[in-house]
Amino acid sequence: MTPPLPVTAFGALASGIVARLRVELGERRTLADVLDWLRSQHPPRMIHDIVTQDEYTHDILVQLESPLWLVFDTN
């Protein structure tokens, strides 16, 4: 079985938010899974930016709620 998607908080962030994201994102395995999750949010969340690290790795930036951001490391 694949381990859950790690959710790591940086900065001052309420533990309830981190716990909720661990539950909501824990079973996401692919970028398609993440995009499905983004679309299912109310209101739907949009990708703000894609940062190319190299030809195989990209970081996906999504604003959760101001000033909080999610960064998905994909490869």
pLDDT tens, 42-65? 999 999 999 999 988 889 999 988
Distance CA 61, CA 59 (A): 6
**pLDDT interval class at 75 (50, 70, 90):** low
Distance CA 28, CA 57 (A): 17
pLDDT higher than 90, residue 67: no
Domain ranges of the chain: 30-74
CA 20, chain centre distance (Å): 12
pLDDT tens, 3-32? 777 888 888 888 889 899 999 988 888 888
**C-beta neighbour count of 74 within 10 angstroms:** 13
Contact yes or no for 35/58 (Cβ under 8 A): no
Output the pLDDT for position 29: 82
